[in-house]
Amino acid sequence: MRETFTKGMARNIYYGGGVFFFLVLIGLTVDTVRGLPKTDNSQNLTEEVAAGKRLWEINNCIGCHTLLGEGAYFAPELGNVYTRFGESTDAIKGFIMSRPKDGIPGRRSMPQFNFTPDELEEIAQFLKYVDGIKVARDWPPNKEG
């Protein structure tokens, strides 16, 4: 073992490097959060959208779908579903309502959630809002998501 590879120095690099890069991460986070209003579509973040997000969460939509590429990969991307469905919240609502209760034989199918008309509107508005987020390079690459 080389004498001049000391544990003390290795330890200092671990703590020093860790703290240093953590501080850099915090700094970048501050910058990011301050800059977000330009891209995060928060001007359209209404009560209705917030309620839609809650519905999105308590029905665990992320367990099959992806939203901006994150989630499960079992069902289509929904970050751009508003665009894909011809910028129509009615089309989104219609799709959610149309799901058969017992599924489609042999195929994947979204469950029937029995949403009320208000809830449907909230979900649709939420998806519209997500579509309005200005994502770098306009991800996903095309409307298929």
Partner 1 sequence: MKYQSQSIAKLYFIAAIGLFVGQILFGVTLGLQYVIGDFLFPEIPFNVARMVHTNLLIVWLLFGFMGSAYYLVPEESERELYAPWLAKLMFWIFLIAGALTILGYLMVPYATLAEITMNDLLPTMGREFLEQPTITKIGIVIVALAFLFNIGMTILTGRKTVISLVLLTGLIGLAVFFLFSFYNPDNVVMDKYFWWFVVHLWVEGVWELIMAAMLAYVLIKVTGVDREVIEKWLYIIIAMALISGLIGTGHHFFWIGAPDYWQWLGSIFSAIEPIPFFMMTLFAFNVVNKRRRDHPNKAAVLWALGTAVMAFLGAGVWGFLHTLAPVNFYTHGTQITAAHGHMAFYGAYVMVILTMISYSMPLMRGKQAGNARAQVIEMWSFWLMTVAMVFITLFLTGAGILQVYLQRYSDTPLGFMATQDKLEIFYWAREGAGVIFLIGLFLYIYSFFAKGEDVVMPEAAVAS
Partner 2 sequence: MNTAIIEQEPKLLPGDLAIWFFIFMELLVFGIAFISYAVVRVQNEDMFNQFQLTLNTELGAINTIVLITSSYFVVRAVHTIKNHGDYIGCSHWLYAAIAGGGVFLVLKSFEYYDKFSAGISLSTNTFYMFYLSLTMFHFLHVILGMIILLAIAIKAQRGGYSASNHIGVESGASYWHMVDLVWIILFPLVYVMR
Residues 23-42 touching partner 1, rule: CB under 8 A, are 24-25, 28-29, 31-33, 35-36, 39-42
Nearer of residues 16 and 111 to partner 2, judged by Cβ: 16
For residue 99, what are its two tokens?
């799901």
Q: Treating both helix axes as pointing N-terminal to C-terminal, what angle do 117-131 and 47-58 enclose, rounded to 10 degrees?
A: 100
Kindly give the pairing relationship between strand 66-67 and strand 70-71. antiparallel
* CA angle (61, 30, 57) in 5-degree steps: 10
Q: By CB under 8 A, is residue 82 in contact with partner 1?
A: no
Q: Does 108 bind partner 1 (CB under 8 A)?
A: yes
Cα–Cα separations (whole angstroms), residue 2 to 5, 7, 87, 119: 6, 11, 66, 68
96 binds, among partner 1, partner 2, none (CB under 5 to 8 A by kind): none
Does 144 bind partner 1 (CB under 8 A)? Our answer is: yes
> Is residue 96 involved in binding partner 1 (CB under 8 A)?
no
Binding site for partner 2 (CB under 8 A): 1-6, 9-10, 13, 16-17, 20, 23-24, 31, 35, 38
